[in-house]
Amino acid sequence: MGQVVTADRMTGVLIGAACADALGAGYEFGAPVPADRPVTMRGQGAFEPGEWTDDTAQLLAIAIAAADGADLRTTEGEDAVAAHLQDWYQSPARLKDIGNHSSAVFREVATLPVPGLGQRFRAVADAKEARSPGSSGGNGALMRTAGVAMALHSDPEAMVRAALRLASMTHADDLSSQACAVWCIAIRAALRSDDPSDLASLAAAVDADVATYLPVDADYWRRVLAESYDTSPVDYYRSHPSNGYCVTTLRAAWGAVTGTPVPDDQPGRHLQLGGDTDTVACVAGALLGAMWGYSAVPLQWRRRVFGWPGMRDADLIRVADAIHRGGVDQSTWPHAAHQSYSGWRGRDALAVHPHDDGVVLSGSDAAYGQQSIPGGRIDAVVSLCRVGTDDLAHFALAPDDRIEVRLIDTSSASDNPHLRLVMEEAADAVAAYRAEGKRVLLHCVAAQSRTPSVAALYSVRHCGIEPNVALQQVCDALPAASPNPALAAAVRPA
């Protein structure tokens, strides 16, 4: 348990939580979903398909403060988080969903200058608990705590202190605050895990860290985690207290993560296999994202997800990147308006897919509008390389008609986590757009390795073409194509 925290895993925390929340929103207050029934972003009530709820909104209040440079260990950092929480509460998004306890606290907090706002929250929460003892143990703080782990994973003692303090701003309940600290410890362990498929080792690391960083209350929480290990969220459905209780939510989320088998052939698909109400899903999704990374989050989830404050997948990537790097560099991806490939050869590669004339294959010139595209019309773009925020604007596409896939043209396994899974997701994304009647541009920088490999896999998975034939015929259409061995191997059956 000593791995350097990667950008992929860090981004996975935020994207995993948001996508799981949006999935869970469509099933909140319903009976548990049978294990063999697919979970989809279907929306429900005030929430549109793919829209995250107050869970992710409040998580973002912490994450955005950290991305903006706020030190969550300080009073000023607390005030920054409190200000973002107030921004959310005063927005129309709050009208769609808010827990009863949180609503009571937010409603009483006056709009004040930022200095002192965090303590004002805490005073109101304390007063509410004094009036109604035992009313503050809900999961409203737990659902947002992943942002603390993202910001302070390198300083576990400070992370635990910050988790306790930020939780107490709205929930004057010791178990609620401690649950947040425990979950931050679990996310930190997942971020640093050498082998996330080894659930027993992950549990052992969390157990040891709880003993180290929460020594006074460690016995209780170690017992909670041990009892919840390898269980099912269904075990906590309509339990008493209900799964709105902080400890029950933690049990359900830990059970969902540790009780879902890790697939032997593609371990990264473990992230996709659970599902429950929005809060349990959001809490579990943050941990699963830390384990498996952004690269394991299904593209069809990422394509759809959105919510307060007017963000989508790409915006969440920028928030996570700023936390990971400790700041924003507007000259580099993912913040730059333009991603230049001016020194690369072969940017003008261009061809129609040999097995589907509704798919165009290209380098960056066509993607950037510097080259005419056969047939003209493009309705969706799947980018296999980094692009700037403005580089595809000339297509005037809807936000969910653009997907950026993180692939690197290398044979190093460490450069492309879950390579076969990511390539299958990319190929399936092309197929999903085609099923919607859209004409798709599939591109990388020079259409030399990534584009022909994914195009060939699309042929295999959706056009019924034999792998070697698919590779050969796609490469014939792109004469400069030469897929690297790792990408080419991913086209063939495992």
Q: Are 394 and 461 in contact (CB under 8 A)?
A: no
Residue 102 pLDDT:
75
Domain chopping of the chain, boundaries: 7-325, 350-491
Q: What is residue 380's three-state secondary structure?
A: strand
Tell whether domain 7-325 is in CATH 1.10.4080.10.
Answer: yes
Residue 324 has pLDDT above 70, yes or no: yes
Instruction: Look at 479 and 379; give whichever has higher pLDDT.
Output: 379
Comparing C-alpha atoms, which of 355, 380, 352, 350 is closest to residue 366? 350
Percentage of the chain with pLDDT > 70?
Answer: 91
Query: For the chain, first and last CA: distance in Å?
Result: 29
Residue 279 has pLDDT above 70, yes or no: yes
Residue 17 pLDDT:
96
The least confident of 40-54, 233-247, 433-447 is 233-247
CA distances in angstroms from 77 to 82, 126, 176, 494, listed in the order given? 9, 20, 20, 49
**pLDDT tens track for 69-97:** 999 999 999 999 999 999 898 888 877 76
CA distances in angstroms from 296 to 13, 24, 127, 269, 285, listed in the order given? 11, 18, 43, 7, 12
Distance CA 333, CA 274 (A): 32
Residue 309 pLDDT:
95
Token pair of 118 as six digits: 């965090």
Residue 368 pLDDT:
98
Superfamily of domain 350-491 in CATH is Protein tyrosine phosphatase superfamily (3.90.190.10)
**What are the residues whose beta carbons fall under 8 Å from the beta carbon of 96, sequence distance 6 or more?**
45, 46, 47, 53, 54
Average pLDDT, the chain: 90
Highest average pLDDT, of 56-65, 136-145, 230-239, 276-285, comes from: 56-65
Mean pLDDT value of segment 397-411: 93
- What pTM does this model have? 0.92
**pLDDT tens track for 150-207:** 999 999 999 999 999 999 999 999 999 999 999 999 999 999 999 999 999 999 999 9
Residue 296 has pLDDT above 50, yes or no: yes
Residue 274 has pLDDT above 50, yes or no: no
Residue 485 pLDDT:
93
In whole angstroms, how large is the CA radius of gyration of the chain?
23
Comparing C-alpha atoms, which of 61, 47, 49 is closest to residue 14? 61
Residue 1 has pLDDT above 60, yes or no: no
∠ CA 191-193-195, rounded to 5° = 130
Distance CA 87, CA 109 (A): 12
Q: What is residue 322's three-state secondary structure?
A: helix
**What are the residues whose beta carbons fall under 8 Å from the beta carbon of 231, sequence distance 6 or more?**
251, 255, 258, 259
Residue 112: pLDDT band (50, 70, 90) is: low
Phi, psi of 359 (to 5 degrees): -125, 125
Distance, CA of 448 to chain centre? 29
